[in-house]
Amino acid sequence: MNAPLIHTCLLVDDNPDDRALVMRALLHEFPAMQVRHISDMDGFADALQHAHPDLIVTDYHLGWSTGLILLQHAKAALPDCPVIMFTGTGSEEIAVEAMQAGLDDYVLKAPRHYSLLPTRIRSILARQQQQKLLQTTQLALRDSEARLRAIIDSGTDYIGMFGKDGSVTYINQAGRTLLEIGLNEDIGSTRIPDYMPPWCVQIMLNEAIPQAVRNGVWNGECALMRRDGTEIPVSAVIAAHKSADGSIDFFSGIMRDISERKRYEAQLSHLATHDVLTGLPNRALFTDRLEVSMHDAKRQHQLVAVMALNLDHFKTINDSLGHEIGNALLRAVAGRLDQVKGDNNTLARLSGDEFALVCGGLAQLNDASELAQALLGCFKTAFHIDGHELFLTTSIGIAVYPSDDRSAIGLLKNAAIALNRSKDLGGDTHQFYDASMNAQSLQHLMLSNALHHALARDELQLHYQPQINLKSGEICGMEALLRWHHPQLGNISPVEFIPIAEKTGLIATIGEWVLRTACQQSMAWQLAGLAALPIAVNLSGRQFAQPALAQTITDILAQTGLAPHLLELEITESTLIQDTQASIAALNALTQLGIRISIDDFGTGYSSLSYLKSFPINAIKIDQSFVRDIHTDPDDAAIVSAIIAMAKSLGMETIAEGVETNEQLAFLQLRECDSMQGFLFSKPVNGNTLKQLLQSGKNLSNATP
């Protein structure tokens, strides 16, 4: 019997890109299907009443509802209409809850999983047919048990019955044949675990039987088990049969052997996505993995590198020694590359001696450069093939998402262009697609090496920028800012070397040095007779995550003698929001020491009232990107005004960064911002210059930009 056609499908998804991918997958397999997009609850209710859909596909996360709510409405209005839901990775609890509420199937929400929809739909339709067969069987049972027995025994599927206690009471002839049980063998003392592997028994106990009790029937896939332990994958329908008083009398099951289908699907899937010679992913699977990595990188604000590899002078070996040696060499090359590619990266063979690698989740270009060096290094040892000692090198071209291109095809194309440049340089090297990017990678590597010696060579120093009270006009504190002066390279921007310090782990040592030096300098000013003013120090994400941070700061305060309330730690929004509960615990430990906490660069991250209320925060620093145009840009003016008002309502101070003009100053004073820092009053200066500034009594009234 052919599966019934699906004429109308309701597609509920707020994301137009995901919606397009789903529609493409559906219409490819069901070209006559009419797909109706639903964008709100009223439209969904109207479609349930009037459209008479044959299928509903919905995302769990919607701006106006959730997949569970839509599922409840759908099953109430159209109990026989299949519903498939998209859920995110790590949302298994949601999927289980939805399945218990009547969901027919779910698919993880990622582009590579959308192609599974047609298979899932056909499986659901097949299960519905099995349910109809089971219903027919139940009707026949009421008419004639003998007739039913004849029908059941003439079938080709396993049909069995078992009691509420799990005891097996009946298995038809086809089932006995499948399980290799004698036709006259007594099975009266057997139970469900005797015929199913443990994992399938758990499905029966935790899912199938409870759902059958609730809804009358359960369908899905599990497995039967022969006495020798052989597992037989089956599609199954389990039905609960009730007595006249409504209590469960017994359960029945119809199961179909799908071993051949599973083997065939596995073979087809592997052949369609893997290279026959090396067993590596082919171009199709590589492109899919690349698109998934790009999708994830876009959400995480990370980089993806695509590497195109081509073996140098492989044609000479292949032509001189023959294709068999050449193929064996390609397999050996694939093995070596696979060992060094990284666990989360995808290596593929595109064609001939061309390989490709996708590296996702990169924080900076140097990560790609380091991996390329490792790939080149694995060719330094000779290959021994059929008595031949063969030396081989490779050339690598690298393109990076999103800077080089935002499409998989474009990235592969640009990586190939970079590969040609590597070939032109003589091979055994790697090149980035853009020359400036390649130069940046080399510069990064050089800075990384130099930074390891910067502390020991006394190349790091602190500058201090005054913070001004906008009511009194006087200096009310200062921020310590790290500077690096290299003897050959000159002054290096923190924008360049701080990410390197984070990546290499040097930020922990450097950060501790900054804290200690700032506290020592503050005490030196006090001993010179200057007022005791708070000093603010930026805390990196890696420092903030250190378990011993509070103890480290306690030791520094004790060793330098600085009062805790004179130290202020500046932490970015993105750092705090990574793990809210851990951040709250860490901040509480710091505030218990008497230290002040401020949020740096506020407005550029999450800016959520909910976490502001949860965190013990003393001050908010308004990012200079908003301050720059507050007197000319209405949007920036509104944002800054809202931040100041919000902070006041929560009992927090506000500090404006990057104040450079009198117009900006006037705006901030009018909005009652507490303090500011910027070039209007002073640039960051060294310790001696700031000492002179404090001694001079400079304030807003006598300041000259």
For residues 354-359, give the mean pLDDT.
Answer: 93
Instruction: State the Cα torsion 104-109-111-116 to the nearest 10°.
Output: -20
> Measured between alpha carbons, how far is 371 from 322 in angstroms, rounded to an integer?
32
| 91 and 185 in a common domain | no
- Let me know if residue 653 belongs to a domain: yes
Assigned token pair, 114: 């959308």
Does the structure show a pLDDT above 50 at 1?
no
Percentage of residues in the chain with pLDDT exceeding 90? Answer: 42
Percentage of residues in the chain with pLDDT exceeding 70? Answer: 92
| 28 and 52 in a common domain | yes
Identify the top-confidence range among 99-103, 244-248, 663-667.
663-667
| pLDDT value, residue 703 | 65
For residues 129-148, give the mean pLDDT.
Answer: 69
Lowest mean pLDDT among 284-298, 342-356, 415-429: 415-429
In 417-459, DSSP assigns E strands to: 430-432
- The band of 614, judged by pLDDT with boundaries at 50, 70 and 90, is confident
Does the structure show a pLDDT above 60 at 233?
yes
Domain ends where: 199, 231, 263? 263
Q: How many domains does one find in the chain?
A: 4
Beta strands 231-242; 248-257: pairing state: antiparallel
pLDDT tens digits, 399-418: 999 988 889 998 998 898 88
| pLDDT value, residue 330 | 92
Beta strands 430-432; 490-492: pairing state: unpaired
| 296 and 205 in a common domain | no
- Let me know if residue 296 belongs to a domain: yes
| 515 and 555 in a common domain | yes
For residues 626-633, give the mean pLDDT.
Answer: 90
Domain ends where: 243, 263, 283? 263
Kindly provide the b/e burial profile for residues 35-63, where b requires at least 16 CB atoms within 10 angstroms of the residue's own CB. beebeeeeebeebbeebebbbbbbbbbbe
- Let me know if residue 269 belongs to a domain: no
Does the structure show a pLDDT above 80 at 295?
yes
| pLDDT value, residue 367 | 86
For residues 20-39, give the mean pLDDT.
Answer: 88
| pLDDT value, residue 359 | 92
| 673 and 553 in a common domain | yes
| 218 and 316 in a common domain | no
Nearest to 308 by CA among 410, 399, 424: 399
- Let me know if residue 705 belongs to a domain: no
Q: SS3 string of 186-217?
A: CCCCCEHHHCCCHHHHHHHHHHHHHHHHHHCE
> What number of other Cβ atoms are within 10 A of residue 202's Cβ?
13
Identify the helix (H) or strand (E) that includes residue 602. strand 596-602
For residues 219-228, give the mean pLDDT.
Answer: 91
| 281 and 396 in a common domain | yes
- Let me know if residue 507 belongs to a domain: yes
- Omega within 30 of 0 (cis) for the link into 402: yes
| pLDDT value, residue 437 | 47
pLDDT tens digits, 484-505: 998 888 898 888 888 788 877 8
Does the structure show a pLDDT above 50 at 114?
yes
For residues 603-620, give the mean pLDDT.
Answer: 72
Does the structure show a pLDDT above 50 at 328?
yes
> What number of other Cβ atoms are within 10 A of residue 158's Cβ?
24
| 281 and 259 in a common domain | no
Which of the pair, 613 or 325, is modelled with greater confidence?
Answer: 325
Domain ends where: 382, 400, 433? 433
Which of the pair, 149 or 664, is modelled with greater confidence?
Answer: 664
| 280 and 200 in a common domain | no
- The band of 442, judged by pLDDT with boundaries at 50, 70 and 90, is low
In this structure, what CATH number is given to the domain that contains residue 562? 3.20.20.450
| 155 and 65 in a common domain | no
> Measured between alpha carbons, how far is 614 from 611 in angstroms, rounded to an integer?
5
In this structure, what CATH number is given to the domain that contains residue 233? 3.30.450.20
Lowest mean pLDDT among 242-251, 384-393, 441-450, 579-588: 441-450
Beta strands 303-312; 346-351: pairing state: unpaired
**At which residue do the structure tokens 């899937």 appear?**
269
- Let me know if residue 441 belongs to a domain: no
User: Measured in whole angstroms, how far is the alpha carbon of residue 492 from the centre of its chain?
Assistant: 33
> What number of other Cβ atoms are within 10 A of residue 548's Cβ?
9
Does the structure show a pLDDT above 70 at 101?
yes
| pLDDT value, residue 36 | 92
- Let me know if residue 131 belongs to a domain: no
Q: The whole model's pTM is what?
A: 0.45
In this structure, what CATH number is given to the domain that contains residue 27? 3.40.50.2300
Residue 136 in 3-state DSSP? helix
> What number of other Cβ atoms are within 10 A of residue 322's Cβ?
12
Contact (CB, 8 A) for 620 and 579: no
User: What is the span of the domain harbouring residue 492?
Assistant: 448-696
| 428 and 281 in a common domain | yes
| 256 and 279 in a common domain | no
- Let me know if residue 318 belongs to a domain: yes
In this structure, what CATH number is given to the domain that contains residue 349? 3.30.70.270
Contact (CB, 8 A) for 598 and 569: yes
| pLDDT value, residue 436 | 57
